[in-house]
A and B are shown apart, each in its own frame.
Chain A
Amino acid sequence: MDRFLDQFFNLEVMAKYLPDVAAGFVVTIQLALSVIVTGLTLGLALAVIRAFQIRPVNWLIILFVDLFRALPPLVILIIFYFGLPFIGLTMSAFVISWLVLAFVLASFAEEIYWAGITSVNRGQWEASRSTGLGFTQTLFYVVIPQAIRMTIPPLTNRTIAITKNTALASVVTVEEMLTVAQTSLAYAANTSPLTMAAVGYLLIFFPLTMASRWVESRYAWKR
């Protein structure tokens, strides 16, 4: 037992590496927030564009969305990270991780928003159009508000699941929490920094996961 505690919960080691892990924690939060804001916004924008039903544009959107949903995010991340320099594009690992995860989130979000938009009853369109509101006005004032409400539970879950992937950025050496913890682990020959990182992730995601349960019951489907 002592050996276990010493290996995983060594207070001395923890104290020593706390500042480093804390710095990584901040990077993780920055990355997560950037991904959430841009991903959800881009996803909504794509769904709105898709609603206008312009054939070639829709094909492009579907292609984009399908690619980012079918490929493992780590594969996309590595292709961007190692592949882009071959065509002369160099971006920081943070920017690449942000973009890739935002694209992934946007793709899932687009599908969810789109499912929400198409599930709004035809009668809502007709009622709105019969009062003289145009297509775009109906979309923005009548359909999207209802669609978004319907999509809140699946969107919350998906956002949490994808935002957890910020840990993947450690593979392309972004100095986020997991990277820092692994480096510290190697220096200290002790697992405690990793424990701290795990606690860090729990601090961020455990409350969110619990909250998503509440959201699910609050916005349960009802007509």
Chain B
Amino acid sequence: MAQTTAAPRYVVEAYDIHKSFGDFEALKGVNLTVAPQELVFIIGPSGSGKSTMLRCCNLLEQPSRGVVKITGEEITHRGVDINKVRQRIGMVFQQFNLYPHMSALGNVSLALRKVKKMARSEAEDRAHAALTRVGLDDKAGNHPTELSGGQQQRVAIARAIAMEPDVILFDEPTSALDPELVGSVLEVMRELRESGMTMVVVSHEMRFARDAADRVIFMDGGLVVEEGTPERVFTDARSDRLKAFLTSVTGH
């Protein structure tokens, strides 16, 4: 735990991650490292294990084997207070998962109050700031059902950034949105990236990957098949599986 003091080389390190559900092997030994301020994009067909991999990074899925470190600190061994670690790892879900019984402000400030133990006024100030960053401070008093899908997802992003995490994991953040609402969410993600946030994104938004990602990882069948710069992965696919995948998503 002492090594967290010096600036770590990697924010996320995952080595040899295996995960099985019953007989099904979703991950068959995946390595992933994410440097500070890096935006890593994970692509792959459905069932490739990319979401499972993401969820292993904050132990929403417990890996069957392998080691996960966050800013150098191993979180996969017993005795780690996972709730403490998760404060430093934000997560944004495909289905938003906003709390329907709370206002946008309540959604963003709950963990600040109950995990970070801030006073209500301090937590709400921080929540308002986070909502402002996603352009929704005027909706602070609204409940999720009163917001559009895009607005809900931006509140969910505010909920993650309010905790000032070391990294944010995005699990298909735009897949549940109508096409015309996708842009506003991507815009927020782009701004986050420019502010230097470390991000790991699982998504099908190839254009976004192309112009925002530092590195693209292609997964298939529970393994990393190729990785490299967006340039390299999108224009110089080496494996047949990646070529087939790119053809299927771009449609030509």
Contact = CB atoms under 8 A, between A and B. Distances in A.
Interface of A: 121, 123-124, 126-134, 137, 141-142, 145-146, 149, 223
Which of B90, B111, B156, B163 gathers the greatest number of chain A CB atoms within 10 Å?
B111
Contacts of B85: 132
B114 interface: yes
A93 B111 CA distance: 49
B95 interface: yes
Contacts of B98: 127
B86 A129 contact: yes
Contact of A124 (B58, B99, B111, B163): B99
Given A141-B110, A141-B114, A130 B99 contact: no
B172 to A, nearest CB: 12
B71 to A, nearest CB: 15
Given A123-B95, A124-B99, 5 more contacts: A127-B156, A130-B89, A131-B90, A131-B159, A132-B111
A130 B95 contact: no
Contacts of A130: 58, 60, 86, 89-91
Nearest to B108: A131
Contacts of A133: 83, 110-111, 114-115
Contacts of A127: 91, 93, 97-99, 156, 159
Interface string B196-212: 00000000000000000
Interface of A, helix, strand, loop or mixed by DSSP: helix
B201 to A, nearest CB: 15
A137 B156 CA distance: 19
B54 to A, nearest CB: 11
Contacts of A223: 100
B84 interface: yes
B87 interface: yes
Contact of A126 (B93, B111, B115, B163): B93
Contacts of A121: 95, 97
A116 to B, nearest CB: 12
A137 B84 CA distance: 13
Contacts of A149: 101
Interface in B48-107: 58, 60, 83-87, 89-91, 93, 95, 97-101
Contacts of A124: 97, 99
Contacts of B100: 146, 223
A123 B55 CA distance: 12
Nearest to B91: A130
A149 B87 CA distance: 28
A149 B99 CA distance: 13
Nearest to A149: B101
A129 B245 CA distance: 33
B97 A126 contact: yes
B101 A132 contact: no
Nearest to A135: B83
Interface string B111-129: 1001100000000000000
15 contacts: A126-B91, A126-B97, A128-B110, A129-B86, A131-B86, A131-B90, A131-B91, A132-B84, A132-B85, A132-B86, A132-B111, A132-B115, A133-B110, A134-B83, A141-B114
Contacts of A132: 83-87, 111, 115, 163
A126 B87 contact: no
B117 to A, nearest CB: 11
Nearest to A122: B97
Given A129-B60, A132-B87, A132-B163, A123 B115 contact: no
B110 to A, nearest CB: 6
A137 B115 CA distance: 9
Contacts of B156: 127
A150 B86 CA distance: 29
